[in-house]
Amino acid sequence: MTERFVVAIDQGTTSTRCIVFDRRGNLVSVAQREHRQHFPRPGWVEHDAMEIWRNVGKVVPRALNQAGLSIDQIAAIGIANQRETTVVWDRRTGVPVAPALIWQDTRTDLVVEALSRASGAEHIQELCGLPLTTYFSGPKLRWLLDHIPGLAERAERGEVLFGTMESWLIWNLTGGPDGGLHLTDVTNASRTMLMDLRTLDWHPRLLSFFGVPAAMLPQIRSSSEVYGTATAVLPGVRIAAALGDQQAALFGQTCFDPGEAKCTYGTGSFLLLNTGTEPVPSRHGLLTTVGYRIGDEPALYALEGSIAITGSLVQWFRDRLELISTAPEIETLARTVDDNGGCYIVPAFSGLFAPHWRSEARGTIVGLTSYITKGHLARAVLEATGWQTREVVDAMNADSGLELTALRVDGGMTANNLLMQFVADVLAVPVVRPMAAETVSLGAAYAAGLAVEYWPDLEGLRSNWHPAARWVPEMDAAVRTRERENWRRAVERTFDWIRPEEDPARR
């Protein structure tokens, strides 16, 4: 019998990756392609959904070729995707009616303001687990319905379809206008603000609050089940999993038990804690979200600390300030100095996410003196990721009543040793990277492989997890306390910067 493999498609914010995994969960091949980021106005961030779909068609064959595999050796496809990003397309032509609105996009701040004063606003978070902010799909969809002429009527008539990236890809993979399946999974649906966290179904009260016609919504399915068979890209292969990228990483880190948590360091960083089969409301600025659901089993819930800007601050340092030519060089530059020289960068580029949720905040650099070099700035960039992690860990500890004893990490930034040491230092707990930095893809592969019985059970997956690196705290407690206080003061200085009537985006 020829060996079989599972394909994961990781449709991320900056790129689309295809990774092939073998039975032991080892990476066999990887192909990646970046797509364009459009910033038409301050605060606006868009993608071309067509470009992303074309990229899927390029990276998947490339990954198979690289490993010399044929389609019949692929047991299943799993999809992980950038979450909340909102696509609306014509069901007859398959053409998107507008650019995709990215999760980082803040154009909906006025929509959100208006909605927060509408009647019923106070019950929204209780139902869907999320605070009313620009981050989620519901307000983005509302904005599109308001601003694209005729769209609301066409949506009522069911002529256009809404989806996050996994819906868009699955619809296209299964035939598009020709019988494409219009569905989403519980984790992605839990980021729309339209789903009832308990029933895992669209809630009429939420739909009417956001003015979203049910006719345009995908069917909500489990994260791990066979949805259908692909007719494009990998014809004949079963599509057997879809999860939001952060939930996929939780799964890939095999955080299957309540109390297990991970933090993924990519464009943004996201700490998720498995809280078991009941949704736990947060009193400290975290989100309540669905972790995953396997087949007919009960859903597992998670508390999430979302940090909008971490790796993208490094990208900004590289592409906008041009102080380095590749992201990893930030470590080399940061190591030219011993400390931050008193300088702090708070990257509130699209407001502050968890635990503050201040959409009017904007980024700041404080503590500048003539002593500061680009090396200090590089340190401040990396330290910003460390301190933001500390803030969400504090919130997590307060909400769960438990003390985190070690942090599991993954994502591109975990290749940065200086950063990982700093995270361990400011959290005062060990930081552990497992033997698979691409945990997002691994989680999507695991979920798909389970659904088609490529892997028998969760225990088998858990035995694949091994630490690849471990950083232990070395920072002096007094230094930690002092720096924590400085960070807190720096964060305060970002508050109340944007006033709605003054927002340059709408002049």
On whether the CB atoms of residues 328 and 311 are closer than 8 A, the answer is no
Residue 99 lies near Mg ion (rule: CB under 5 A): no
Q: Beta partners for 284? A: none
Q: Give the H or E element holding residue 374.
A: helix 374-400
Instruction: Find out whether 13 and 52 touch, Cβ atoms under 8 Å.
Output: no
312 binds, options another protein, ligand ATP, Mg ion, none, Cβ within 5 to 8 A by partner type:
ligand ATP
Q: Shortest distance, CB of residue 466 to another protein, whole angstroms? A: 4
Instruction: Considering the complex, state which of residue 455 and residue 471 has its C-beta at the smaller distance from ligand ATP.
Output: 471
Report the partner that residue 70 touches, choosing among another protein, Mg ion, ligand ATP, none (CB closer than 5 to 8 A by kind).
Answer: none
Nearer to another protein by Cβ, of 29 and 350: the residue is 29
Beta-carbon-side half-sphere exposure of residue 67 (alpha carbons within 13 Å)? 26
Binding status of residue 80 toward ligand ATP by CB under 6 A:
no
Q: Which of ligand ATP, another protein, Mg ion, none is residue 314 near (CB under 5 to 8 Å by kind)?
A: ligand ATP
> Could you tell which of another protein, Mg ion, ligand ATP, none binds residue 155, using a CB distance below 5 to 8 A set by kind?
none
**Shorter beta-carbon distance to another protein: residue 470 or 488:** 470
- Residue 24 near which of ligand ATP, another protein, Mg ion, none (CB within 5-8 Å, type-dependent): another protein
Instruction: Write the CA distances from 142 to 50, 87, 126, 168, 309, integer angstroms.
Output: 22, 12, 20, 18, 25
As a three-state string, the secondary structure of 247-309 is HHHHHHCCCCCCCCEEEEECCCEEEEEEEECCCCCCCCCCEEEEEECECCCCCEEEEEEEECC
Q: How far is the CB of 60 from another protein (least distance, A)?
A: 17
Taking the C-alpha atoms of residue 340 and residue 354, their distance in angstroms, rounded to an integer, is: 24
Can you read off the two tokens belonging to residue 226? 């066979």
388 touches, from another protein, ligand ATP, Mg ion, none (C-beta below 5 to 8 Å by class): none
Sign of the CA dihedral running 349, 144, 207, 11 = negative
Total binding residues for ligand ATP by CB under 6 A? 21
* Angle at CA of residue 43, ends 38 and 45, nearest 5°: 25
Find the part of the chain contacting ligand ATP (CB under 6 A) among 288-296, 346-354, 406-414, 491-499: 406-414
List residues binding another protein (CB under 8 A): 24-28, 30, 325-332, 412, 414-417, 435-438, 466-471
- Of the residues 259, 328, 467, 500, which one makes contact with ligand ATP according to CB under 6 A: 328
181/419 with CB nearer another protein = 419
- Least distance (Å) between residue 163 CB and another protein: 29
| Contact string 15-34 vs ligand ATP (x = CB under 6 A) | x-------------------
Cα 211 from Cα 121, distance rounded (Å): 13
Residue numbers 265-284 binding Mg ion by CB under 5 A: 266
Contacts 24+ apart (CB under 8 A), 297-300: 299/186, 299/200, 300/256, 300/274, 300/275, 300/276
| Among 8, 12, 247, 423, contact with Mg ion (rule: CB under 5 A) | 12
Q: Which is nearer to another protein, 66 or 125 (CB)?
A: 66
Contact between 311 and ligand ATP per CB under 6 A = yes
- Binders in 369-388 for ligand ATP, by CB under 6 A: none
Q: Which does 224 bind (CB under 5 to 8 A by kind): Mg ion, another protein, ligand ATP, none?
A: none
Of the candidate residues 258, 351, 411, 473, the single one contacting ligand ATP (CB under 6 A) = 411
Q: Which two tokens stand for residue 491?
A: 């964060």
Spell 73-106 as b/e; 16+ CB within 10 A means b.
bbbbbbbbbbbbbbbbbebeebebbbbbbbbbbb
Q: Which residues share a beta bridge with 87?
A: 163
CA 168 to chain centre: 17
Q: How far is the CB of 22 from another protein (least distance, A)?
A: 9
Chain centroid to Cα 111, Å, comes to: 22
Q: Is the dihedral angle over the CA atoms 82, 111, 312, 398 positive or is it negative?
A: negative
- By CB under 6 A, is residue 281 in contact with ligand ATP? no
Query: Which of residues 95 and 468 has its CB atom nearest to another protein in the complex?
Result: 468
Q: Is position 14 an interface residue for ligand ATP (rule: CB under 6 A)? A: yes
181 lies in the site for ligand ATP, by CB under 6 A: no
| The one segment of 6-14, 60-68, 226-234, 443-451 that binds ligand ATP by CB under 6 A | 6-14
Q: Is 412 in the site for ligand ATP (CB under 6 A)?
A: yes
Beta-bridge partner residues of 287: 304
Q: Which is nearer to another protein, 21 or 168 (CB)?
A: 21
Evaluate whether 32 touches 15 at the Cβ level (below 8 Å). Answer: yes
CA-CA-CA-CA dihedral for 367, 373, 379, 383, to nearest 10: 10
Smallest gap, in angstroms, from Cβ of residue 310 to ligand ATP? Answer: 7
Q: How far is CA 439 from the centre of its chain?
A: 12
Q: Which does 315 bind (CB under 5 to 8 A by kind): another protein, Mg ion, ligand ATP, none?
A: ligand ATP
Residues that bind Mg ion (CB under 5 A): 12, 245, 266
Residues that bind ligand ATP (CB under 6 A): 12-15, 82, 245, 266-267, 311-312, 314-315, 327-328, 330-331, 411-413, 415-416
